[in-house]
Structure 1
Amino acid sequence: MVRHNNQLPDNLPQLQNLIKRDPESYKEEFSQQYNHYKSTLEVFRLTPDKFNKSLDELLMFLAQVAHCYSDELVTYPQEIVDILKTHNTVLDNDMRMTFCKTLILLRNKGLLEPTVLLSLFFELLKCQDKALRQFLQTHIITDIKSINSKQKNTRVNTNLQNFMFTMLKDTNARAAKMSADIMIELYNKNVWNDSKTVNVLATGCFSKITKVMVACLKFFLGTDPEDGKNSDDSDSEDDTPNVKDVLMANKVNKKTKKREKQLKKVKQLFVKSKKNKSKAPQFNFSALHLVHDPQGLAERLFKQLDKNNDRFEIKLMTLDVISRLIGLHNLFLLNFYPYLQRFLQPHQREVTKLLQFVAQSSHELVPPEVLEPLLKTLVNNFVTERNSADVMAIGLNAVREICVRCPLVMNEDLLRDLAQYKNYRERSVMMAARSLISLFRQTMPELLHKKDRGRPTEATVAIESLKYGEVAAKDYVPGADVLLDEQKGGGSDSDSDDDDDDDEDGKWIDVNHSDEEGEDEEGDGDDEEEDGSGDEDDEEIESDDDDDDGDDEKDDEEGGDDNGEKKPTGKAVRKILKAKKRTKLDRKRDKMERLARMKKTKKVELTAERKAQAAQISVDRLLTDEDFKRIDTALVKQQVTHAKRGVKRPLQEETRGELVKLGDIENIFKKRKHDKNARLDSVKKGRDDREKFGYKDGRQNPLCSKTNREKKKTKAFQMIKHKIKSKTKRSFKDKQIALRNHLIKQKRMK
């Protein structure tokens, strides 16, 4: 039997392997297969909609060995590209997939330019083949990522971005949607994270194709900040040394419960401030910051919102993007607020998201008179006792979030009305109202009632309310004057601010003048702002009033004695006394106003002096890490140290997030209901330290026998039911039966 080992014309994988090892030796076999490919291709052009198995095998064979015979196959890639451009819609699905895989192999071997291939693949996205579209999308993303892996290829990126810009405007919905998805994916992979990509996608928000518009809107919304919580909750840095400094400052004082609470509060504030400062600022989604014309984009989106009749979910996404643009870039879109005002009803669908959009679109530059009607509508519809407690709490939370970003929208009467809910019977409403009060204690305490301002601290008394459009720009490091006090006095942080104080202990944590003041947690704090000069002026006022009264009385007596006339009547005396009383009150009021002006002037002078000292320190020397630690300690101290006689420093501004969290508005304080296991655990925990419940055995010797009465308690009911039945009262029928049996028995005995 003769063996035929030369099977190369029919075995293409074997020939492919041999050609890759030694191209020159098998060039004749390759030429034979290449001629066979040309003839098969001519036959295929006659019926391009049919699958040709022979052509399918030859295409992959030539693509695998194309790098070995690049001169002979110089026109091979362009032939396949022309076939796909000409017959892309009529080709068989499997045949079309083979052509695409062939081009990808040629592209990987460097025989085809990326722009030519990617442009062709974008056109193929119009085909009615879902598997092909997914395959092409994956390759496009991978190829562009590999092109920009080592360095950005600006020329290729520019050409592809220009092509994608035209594809977004294509009438074919599938191609436009796939182009948008590819650009979004490349942006998320940090391949095309430039402003051009963002602004091309911004034009997709106005596409007539709903899917493209929704995809672009979701791109600008990004991920929810609550979903991407930072898992690293604990700081790697050790805060113990700084906390020890704070503890040592109070170590010599007398130990009281009040001081322990204050120390605990200082520790919490200090750790919290350091954590917030150590974390780098994180933006939710940077695409909104790269928009070239945010004002124009917001206006066009709002115009489209009124023009189009889209679904409610799409309108919500559009409102979300507009509100984020307004809040991040401080835009002016005054018609946006009356539009939202129509939907602020408790029964409105997704009303919490609408409240979130209102808060997001609020900023300091929005005129307060524009937001006032919206705020009043919100309060009237939500914060009323005819609604449930949850609705009221959500309304108060929304008011707080609006006032965080635009505090000037709140007026004194409305704030005092809302502050009265701090004693509401429902905990959720009470906590929401107290959070609103806490906000205005730190921003505009003069709007609150005196009893709601709390005991002022050194930081809160120095708060200066800003007018509309005013910016509190600082040319110094707040709190740097502490370093100047250390240089002068050579003391530590704990006694650097006590030069003008009358504090009895001399340590900064002991913030009270007397024990009585310590008992008053939320007393009238304004009275404590008076300094020593104010007390002397008050004494002078009283002495002047007393002297005036005495002089008036002497004049009246002398006048009556000298003239020898009769004393005036009662009516005349009342008129004279009334006139004297009015004059006395006016005189006292004038002196009090003059005293208040003097104290205010003195406070401004002291604050200006401290600012000058801080500016001097900031200019004269370079602050070290230790200096900043002392400054941070001093600033935290001001937030918990009650105001007293001496120097006040400005409050360090708190940073707020760029976007409003939906949880801040939906945050409802309630006591959670326990499940059955949690309730049983609570019940068992309460039984630990108490005596055993139930029947108490009073026997002195527990080993002795029990009585029948005691044993009966542990017996089964079937054993004792006949005895229990005998003790119950018999019915009339039972008595009849018993009497009948008794009579029958007696009769038988006779």
Structure 2
Amino acid sequence: MTDRNQNKLPNNLPQLQNLIKRDPNTYKDEFLQQYRHYQSHLEIFQLRPSQFSKTLDELVIFLAQVSHCYPEEMSEFPQQLKNILQRHATVLDRTVRMSLCKALILLRNKGLISATGVLELFFELFRCQDKLLRKTLYSYIVSDIKNVNLRHKNSKLNTTLQNFMYTMMKDNNPIAAKMSLDVMLELYRRNIWNDAKTVNVITTACFSKVTKILVAALKFFLGHDDAAEEDSDSEQEEGQKSTKELMLGHRVGKKTRKRQRKLDRALAALKKHKAKKKKAESFNFSALHLIHDPQDFSEKLFKQLETTTERFEVKLMMIDLISRLTGIHQLLVLNFYPYVQRFLQPHQREVTRLLLFAAQACHDLVPPEVIEELLRVIANNFITDRNSGEVMAVGLNAVREICVRCPLALSDELLRDLVQYKTHKNKGVMMAARSMLQLYRKVDPDKLHRRDRGKPTEFAQEIKILKYGERDAKDYIPGAEVLSVKDDTTEKEKEEDGWESCSDVEDDDEEGWIDIKHSSDEEELDESQVPEDPDERKQKAREVTNTRILTQEDFKQIHQRQAAKEANSADKSAGRRDSKHRKRKHVEIEADDEQSGELLSLSAIESVFKKRAHDKESRLATVMEGRKDRGKFSYGQTKMNPNASTTNKQKQKGKNFMMIKHKVMNRKQKRSFRDKQVALRNSLLKRMKNKR
């Protein structure tokens, strides 16, 4: 009998696997034979678990593939694999260990083993010194938990795994703890585990003694993506290096048009790749709001900050997180402000970020005496004439942002001194001082000198100066007095009458247009009906707020009214102007919808009004912009008739060099200084010889 007709199934596992999946009952004997073969090799493997066994490796994968076909015979198979990994995980051969993990993954995908047992085992396998295994298990854990919670949240499984991961993050193996933390961070970013328990488990990592775990947890709360930052940094460095190499290769090679076009295409591709990868910085505030006890967490983190020996970048991250928690939750960590004062020097590295953190941690519940000392330190170190204009502007911007959140902290004397810089020769200092002046005109004009309070406006009459801890709770919408009071019953009657009039239209007028007026079209910003007395305005605004459902158009008119209050004079004589002129002016006025939000932007501190020096790209863009409306550049005088004949001199420029070589070479060459010296020497020697 030839080899072609022989039965090769005992030695060809892939073929047997395919046949078993098609017809399990027919090939059950062959399967049992392979299963007994597996058990015998397993007993041998138990004696020497560190030795690689190719046969056992192939049999494990084969049995995992066909295990769903014989559930009764394979009932003990998953537990056997788990026992091997739990007992000998660290001493197993890498290939065998990976095969056992893949077999468990196959069994889990077929539903033959519970998720809890497999995932907890995989977390323990993070302790193995196998990077490829850890990466594979990390991807599978994230995808499996995602699939389990795809349709509805599996609270029981999530709670069990979260408790287990809480213990894993305290593991003595730093790699296992870091991988467990990465799993939780990834699940939170994918909105799978975005509950308060996950966030509070991650908070424990902020007190880890392992720097990588500490930095990963801090970056999570600060809204940074560690992996994305590393990728972007490596891509940016690689892009800069590639650009440099391309320019260098083009410089040393021969200059041709083909090589120039190739260089331009390569540079354009690099620029496009950088622009595609560049993303705006985003923050996730939900994690900061889900912390159970932010006051206790901030105090512990600040205590760790005072005693830590980490590098300066890690300290900055801890300062940033404490300031965000303090500002968002309005906490009281009074020792934080004197700690930050030590770094507020113009020569300090990352001083603008430190000023940002100091302003971020301020709010109106902090005692003004604590913030006053901070403001005085900034004023003494930054806002002095011995510093440059940019340093002074940065200091004034920082003081302004702090005073926005805690206006009572700035004393009258210091405020009046800072406002004097409104006439400074440096534009950045002048603009920063004027922004400070405008702030206190709205918040507390009495702190300013009488000449700096400006013209009395309607808005100034409504300012209520708050004391420490006092709140201005309004039961109406400011500016709503510009709207008219409406009754719901009359509105319904108007709507019914409108529909009746539309239905009574005769058929002969079907070709005509019917204008249906909306309530928003009838209402215009007419301030002639607005009361002049502030108490009357409040009363009318209260009536409008309580009797109307405001629309977006109504809010737009309210914003315009509030903006107009800052420009309109409080003098009654000024209100007797032309109504059309006032209406047109108020329509042009737009309210300032910018909101500071929960966090400050670094541009608020670094906004120095100075004309920046142009780089090469911006200069080139300016040059090309100026060349749009002019003709093509040409050397010398252009001909009035482009078809006219040319001179011999012009024709000579377009000829081949070999055609005019004889003329060029025969021209009288200009002699060098050395040639003139030799000629003069020979001439003098010849004269002396002739005299003899």
* Alpha-carbon separation, structure 1, partners of 2:467 and 2:64: 73
C-alpha distance after superposition, 1:319-372 (max 9, x if no partner): 111111100100011111111111111122221221111011100111100111
Find the counterpart in structure 2 of residue 458 from structure 1: 458
* TM superposition shift of 1:115: 0.3
Aligned to 2:114: 113
Quote the offset at 1:476 in angstroms.
1.2
Residue type of the alignment partner of 1:496: E
Partner of 1:666: 606
| 1:372 and 2:368 are equivalent in the alignment | no
| Contact 1:607 1:647 survives alignment (8 Å) | no
1:338/1:162 CA distance change after superposition, 3 Å:
same
Q: Is the alpha carbon distance of 1:349 and 1:652 closer, same or farther for their aligned partners in structure 2, counting shifts above 3 Å?
A: closer
* Aligned position for 1:127: 128
**SS, match of residue 459 in structure 1:** helix
Q: Does 1:82 align with 2:83?
A: yes
1:241-297, Cα deviation, whole Å (9 max, x unpaired)? xxxxxxxxxxxxxxxxxxxxxxxxxxxxxxxxxxxxxxxxx9742101000000000
Residues 368-413 of structure 1: per-residue CA shift (max 9 Å, x gap)? 0011111101110011121122211211111111111111111222
1:24 aligns with 2:25: yes
* CA–CA distance in structure 1, aligned partners of residues 522 and 31 of structure 2: 93
1:557 alignment partner in structure 2? none
Alpha-carbon separation, structure 1, partners of 2:574 and 2:309: 61
| Alpha-carbon distance in 1 for matches of 2:465, 2:368 | 15
Provide closer, same or farther for how the CA distance between residues 486 and 424 of structure 1 changes in structure 2, counting only shifts above 3 A.
farther
CA distance in 2, matches of 1:15, 1:680: 70
Which amino acid in the other structure matches residue 449 of structure 1?
A: H
CA shift for structure 1 position 478: 1.9
CA distance in 2, matches of 1:133, 1:442: 59
* Mapped partners of 2:355, 2:115: distance in 1: 48
Q: CA deviation at 1:495?
A: 3.5
Alignment of 1:354-393 (within 5 A): 354-393=354-393
What is aligned with 2:37?
Answer: 36
Aligned-partner SS, 2:459: coil
* CA deviation map 1:51-74 (0-9, x unaligned): 100000000000000000001000
Equivalent in the alignment of 1:308: 308
- AA paired with 1:355? L
Residue by residue over 1:488-512, the C-alpha shift from the partner in whole angstroms, topping out at 9 and shown as x without a partner, is: xx996443346778xxxxxxxxxxx
Question: Which whole-Å deviations, capped at 9, do the CAs of 1:98-121 have from their partners, x for residues lacking one?
Answer: 100000000000000000001101
The answer to whether the Cα contact below 8 Å between 1:458 and 1:639 also exists between their aligned partners in 2 is yes
**1:668: Cα distance to partner?**
2.0
The superposition leaves residues 717-750 of structure 1 with CA deviations (integer Å, 9 ceiling, x where unpaired) of x99999xxxxxxxxxx99xx99x99xx9xx9xxx
Shift, 1:681, TM fit: 7.3
How far residue 676 of structure 1 moved from its aligned partner, in angstroms, is 5.5
Equivalent residues of 1:635, 1:652 under 8 A apart: no
Q: How far 1:151 sits from its partner (Å)? A: 0.6
Residue correspondence of structure 1 range 511-550 to structure 2 within 5 A: none
> RMSD of aligned C-alpha atoms?
4.1
The answer to whether the 8 A contact 2:486-2:548 is kept is: no
CA distance in 1, matches of 2:611, 2:593: 33
User: Relative to 1, partners in 2 of residues 1:90 and 1:499: Cα closer, same or farther, differing over 3 Å?
Assistant: closer
Alignment of 1:383-462 (within 5 A): 383-462=383-462
Q: Secondary structure at the match of 1:54?
A: helix
Structure 1 residues 284, 394: closer, same or farther in 2, change over 3 A?
farther
Is 419-428 or 377-386 further displaced after alignment? 419-428
1:137 aligns with 2:168: no
The residue that corresponds to 1:559 in the other structure is none
Structure 1 counterpart of 2:341: 341
Candidates 527, 539, 544, aligned match of 1:617: 544
SS in 1 for 2:191: coil
**Given the alignment of the two structures, is residue 495 of structure 1 paired with residue 495 of structure 2, yes or no?**
no
Aligned pairs for 1:483-632 within 5 A: 483-484=483-484, 493-497=524-528, 606-632=533-559
Q: Tell me the distance in 2 between the aligned counterparts of 1:320 and 1:677.
A: 35
Q: Which amino acid aligns with 2:27?
A: Y
Q: Do the aligned partners of 1:223 and 1:284 also contact (CA within 8 Å) in 2?
A: no
Q: 1:687 to 1:159 in 2, by over 3 A?
A: closer
Distance change >3 Å, CA 80–CA 681, structure 1 → 2: closer
Instruction: Point out the more displaced range, 471-480 or 70-79.
Output: 471-480
2:675 aligns with none
Q: Residues 177 and 186 (structure 1 numbering): CA distance in 2 closer, same or farther, change over 3 Å?
A: same
Distance change (3 Å), C-alpha of 1:121 and 1:433: same
> Could you tell me how far apart the structure 2 residues matched to 1:449 and 1:402 are?
21
> What amino acid sits opposite 2:16 in the alignment?
L
Q: Give 1:622 shift.
A: 3.3
Change (3 A) 1:345 1:629: closer
C-alpha distance in 2 between matches for 1:719 and 1:415: 81
Distance in 1, matches of 2:210 and 2:292, equals 23
Provide the rounded CA distance (Å) in 2 between the counterparts of 1:109 and 1:150: 18
Amino acid at match of 2:570: A
For residues 680-719 of structure 1, the aligned pairs below 5 Å read 685=626
Gaps (5+ residues) in structure 1? 229-281, 502-605, 698-702, 707-715, 723-732
Alpha-carbon spacing, 1:312–1:283, altered in 2? closer, same or farther (3 Å)? closer
Structure 2 regions of 5+ residues with no counterpart?
A: 230-281, 488-520, 576-590, 639-643, 648-663, 671-678
Cα offset, 1:482, TM superposition: 1.9
Higher relative contact order (CA 8 A, sep 6+): 1
> Where does residue 711 of structure 1 map in the other structure?
none
Give the TM-score normalised by the residue count of structure 2: 0.73
Report the structure number with the largest CA radius of gyration.
1
Contact 1:500 1:645 in 2 (8 A): no
Quick one: structure 1 residues 646 and 332, their matched pair in 2 at CA, closer, same or farther if it must change by over 3 Å?
Answer: farther
CA deviation map 1:409-443 (0-9, x unaligned): 11222122112222222222222222222322332
Cα displacement string for residues 115-166 of structure 1 (whole angstroms, at most 9, x for unaligned residues): 0001101111111111111111111111111110111000000000000011
Match of 1:189 in 2: 190
1:456 Cα deviation after fit: 4.4
TM-score w.r.t. length of structure 1: 0.68
1-structure distance, mates of 2:372, 2:630: 58
Residue 26 of structure 1 aligns with an amino acid whose one-letter code is: Y
- Distance in 2 separating the partners of 1:478 and 1:354: 36
Change (3 A) 1:627 1:662: closer
Counterpart CA distance in 1 for 2:132 and 2:619 is: 55
**Could you tell me how far apart the structure 2 residues matched to 1:120 and 1:167 are?**
11
8 A contact 1:458–1:641 mirrored in 2: yes
* Distance (whole Å) between structure 1 residues aligned to residue 310 and residue 556 of structure 2: 55
Deviates more, 1:78-87 or 1:435-444: 435-444
The alpha carbon displacement at 1:678 in A equals 5.5
Contact 1:486–1:496 (8 Å) recurs in 2: no
Aligned CA distance change for structure 1 residues 21 and 398 (closer, same or farther; 3 Å)? same
Post-superposition offset of 1:183: 0.5
Greater CA drift, 661-670 or 110-119:
661-670
- AA aligned to 2:346 is P
CA gap 1:720/1:646 in 2 versus in 1, 3 angstroms: farther
**Counterpart for residue 507 of structure 1:** none
Residue in 2 aligned with 1:53? 54
